[in-house]
Amino acid sequence: MLEIAIIEDEEKEAVRLGGFLDRFSQESGVELRHCWHNGAASFLDGYQCQYDLVFMDIRLPDMDGMKAAQRLRELDSAVVLVFVTSLAQYAVQGYSVDALDYILKPVSYPAFALKMRRAVERCQQKRERWLLLNTNSGAVQLREFELCYVEIFDHHIRYHTQQANYDAYGTLKSVEGGLPRHSFFRCNNQCIINLRYVTKIGAGTVVVDGREFSLSRMRKKAFLEQLHRFADLSWEDGNR
């Protein structure tokens, strides 16, 4: 469920945008909930990082939309921000507050849907993923980026992080099924690696967090393709 806020002083425009969101949800199957604030000050006063996506009008009577966005970023660095404006020259300043995009008024549904698909993708990328590992010492919860790689030795699983290692009993196939596919890759029959920790690729090897692992020849093409996709997403996230 995506939580979305519309910051717009004109009720007609807010209703239009809300209708577009409902239509997009029905057509795409994306579950969402939206609410309307007719001013930036009241929105920011009660802000508790509860939204995934914010549509912000740039011209607001109580506070300039760009100043409101700067204040929003002080409170929440992760929320996805999209400006709504009739003046494109103001929207180009959005890079300074890490805005994903802008929508020009009057808003048309095709243009909105195109940008909304991009916003949904960004929201999904930004949501922090947690991993629940069933280990020999009990359940352990880790954030996705904390797990460097997973090894197996005769049905004995070892989860490696930079802080500690955790042992479990099972199969690598079952572990693989529980890990996000965009960032983890099974490089051979004994190891699954986190792509964010790859530092070097050899003819038949890959170095992950200082450890060298064999890279199956049959898996290398798929590995390189997935690594490039992961790198593109990471670069895009870091440069918005």
Residues 63 and 140 in one domain: no
Which among 92, 126, 160 is the end of a domain? 126
What residues have CB less than 8 Å from 74, skipping those under 6 apart? none
Single out the residue of 214, 161, 169 nearest to residue 191, CA to CA: 214
Residues 25 and 111 in one domain: yes
168 pLDDT band, cuts 50/70/90, is very high
Phi first, then psi, for residue 43 (nearest 5°) are -60, -45
Domain residue limits at 57: 2-126
Residues 108 and 152 in one domain: no
- Which spans in 29-185 are helix H? 40-45, 65-75, 88-91, 109-126, 172-177
pLDDT tens digits, 175-204:
998 888 878 999 999 999 999 899 999 989
Residues 160 and 143 in one domain: yes
Residues 142 and 93 in one domain: no
Residues 68 and 109 in one domain: yes
Single out the residue of 68, 67, 61 nearest to residue 45, CA to CA: 68
Q: What is the pTM of this model?
A: 0.56
Which among 61, 95, 126 is the end of a domain? 126
* C-alpha torsion sign, points 231, 232, 236, 239: positive
Average pLDDT (145-154) is 92
Highest mean pLDDT among 25-34, 73-82, 118-127, 221-230: 25-34
**What's the CATH code of the domain at 87?**
3.40.50.2300
Residues 47 and 135 in one domain: no
In angstroms, the CA 66 to CA 88 distance is 13
Residues 154 and 117 in one domain: no
